[in-house]
Structure 1
Amino acid sequence: MDLGIQGKTAFVAASTGGLGLAVASALAGEGANLVITGRRGEEARCIAAELPAAAIGVEADLCTHDGLTAAVAAANARFGSVDILVLNGPGPAPGTAAGLSSADMSSAFDLLLRPQHALVSSFLPGMRNRRWGRVLAIGSSGVAAPLPNLALSNTGRAALAGYLKTLAAEVASDDVTVNMLLPGRIATERTRCLDQAAARRRGVTAEVIEAESRASIPAGRYGSTEEFGATAAFLCSGLASYVTGTALRCDGGLVRTL
């Protein structure tokens, strides 16, 4: 299936590993140009060099003003414009809602909302002028059903979802779509770390936590990064031009709501 993004340029935030890399790889496989970003500059450049498409690797901490500005400038200098923006970033530390401080709350917004808003503000005007664009945020199933002991993630990602849902209606007539993709238990380093943290809290092994998690998923397994990347690529495609303002779950049936 031709997804209609050959020659389009995609900026994928935090794409040197995990779900960001999975999405970048899927987009490159469809012929899109890629801007790979991450704090590990050499890793970003190596990934870019190995992709089957034109790509650059940019060392940048997108949670800082200087890092974000430099990454945007590098993307525009190399490709002239960005057609596809994939919002992604590290998740905050686990913790309870009752234990949150005001500083914790501020940190959640600094991590999960402010950089995303800045990236959208940087690239959205060009998308609207060209009357074609895709904004896709990698979220969490916690947007649909808040997850225990992930209060900061639940809060910050829900705020991002509210912003993006509002934005989607405002730019739909310019042929710009805005969506979220919500992973469930995908086999990534982040998931492994969360399983290990849960194991320590309960005094069991990570294998016990993984087995319990698999049992709670109707599909009976963790998802693969390739499955997630393929779903993201479709939402970023020309074929998905009538899908906007949507939070799609890629979770093997984990969240038991429609």
Structure 2
Amino acid sequence: MDLGLKGRKAIVCASSRGLGKACALALAEAGCDLVINGRDEKILAATAEELRRATGVTITPVLADVSTPDGQKQLLAACPEPDILVNNNGGPPHRDFRQLDRQAILDGVTQNMITPIELIKAVIDGMVSRRFGRIVNITSTSVYKPIAGLDLSSGARAGLTSFLAGIARTVVRENVTINNILPGSFDTDRLRNGIRFGAEKAGVAPEDEAAQRMAEIPAGRFGTPDEFGNACAFLCSSHAGYITGQNLIIDGGAYRSAF
């Protein structure tokens, strides 16, 4: 399917690896020129070169922490008039809520709620004036299904979801959409690291820990980054102008609900 995105400009945050990289690749394959972002210079440069070779589009890497004002300034300087914004950022580490002090809570909310709102504020009016805009926020299934120890991440992302729900309805008339993707278990470095940690804690082999986790997913497997990236690209496409304010769960059926 032609997604109608050739020549569009996109900013994809935290996109040097993992699901952010998968979104960047899918958008590049659709013909978008990209600004990608990461905090590890070597990994970011390698990803930029990989995407250029694979797709031939213009890739501009921005080495920055997207949660900082300076990092956001750099992203917007590299792409002042994006047609697409994919918000993505790391979350607070797994921690019992009793261990969270005030600063840790503020940092988590900044990462997963304030930062995407700030970027949306910076780009949305331009999208409205050009009558095309696609904003996709990568959140988590923990918004719907709380995970003990990730309470701060879940709360901040849920706050972002509610904050944007009404805003999404105010701009869709101008062909600007805002949607969220809620990933479950995807085969990324982050998941594999979590499996190794869980295996060590349980005293089992990593492959046994992985098998146990997959057995709990109705699909019987982990998702692939390509599956996630392609879903993101569709929400950004010219065909998705009637989809807004939605939370797309991609988790192989792990979240069990009829609605």
Q: Which residue of 2 aligns with 1:83?
A: 83
Identity level (%): 39
Q: Which residue of 2 aligns with 1:11?
A: 11
Shift of 1:91: 1.9
Paired residue secondary structure (1:137):
strand
1:20-99 pair list within 5 angstroms? 20-51=20-51, 52=55, 53-76=57-80, 81-99=81-99
Q: 1:118 and 2:122 equivalent?
A: no
Instruction: Report the residue type matching 1:104 in the other structure.
Output: A
Does the 8 Å CA contact 1:45/1:58 hold for their aligned counterparts?
A: no
Moved more, 122-131 or 102-111: 102-111
CA distance in 2: counterparts of 1:209 and 1:237, whole angstroms = 37
Moved more, 247-256 or 116-125: 116-125
> Runs in 1 of length 4+ with deviation above 6 angstroms?
none
| Structure 1 unpaired stretches of 5+ | none
Give the TM-score normalised by structure 2.
0.92
CA distance in 1: counterparts of 2:206 and 2:170, whole angstroms = 44
CA distance in 1: counterparts of 2:243 and 2:127, whole angstroms = 16
1:1-258 pair list within 5 angstroms? 1-51=1-51, 52=55, 53-76=57-80, 81-257=81-257, 258=259
Shift of 1:156: 1.3
CA distance in 2: counterparts of 1:175 and 1:233, whole angstroms = 16
Does the 8 Å CA contact 2:11/2:75 hold for their aligned counterparts?
A: no
CA distance in 1: counterparts of 2:136 and 2:188, whole angstroms = 19
CA distance in 1: counterparts of 2:149 and 2:98, whole angstroms = 10
Instruction: Report the residue type matching 1:61 in the other structure.
Output: D
Q: What is the alpha-carbon root mean square deviation over aligned residues?
A: 1.6
| Structure 2 unpaired stretches of 5+ | none
Paired residue secondary structure (2:185):
coil
Shift of 1:5: 0.8
1:223/1:24 CA distance change after superposition, 3 Å: same
CA distance in 2: counterparts of 1:202 and 1:106, whole angstroms = 32
Instruction: Report the residue type matching 1:211 in the other structure.
Output: A
CA distance in 2: counterparts of 1:38 and 1:205, whole angstroms = 32
Paired residue secondary structure (1:254):
coil
Shift of 1:206: 3.2
Instruction: Report the residue type matching 1:126 in the other structure.
Output: G
CA distance in 2: counterparts of 1:206 and 1:102, whole angstroms = 35
Paired residue secondary structure (1:113):
helix
Paired residue secondary structure (1:190):
helix
Shift of 1:100: 3.3
Instruction: Report the residue type matching 1:157 in the other structure.
Output: R
Shift of 1:134: 0.4
CA-to-partner distance for each residue in 1:36-72, whole Å, 9 max, x for gaps?
1111234333423332112211111111111211121
Moved more, 152-161 or 231-240: 152-161
Moved more, 149-158 or 82-91: 149-158
Instruction: Report the residue type matching 2:61 in the other structure.
Output: G
Instruction: Report the residue type matching 1:86 in the other structure.
Output: V
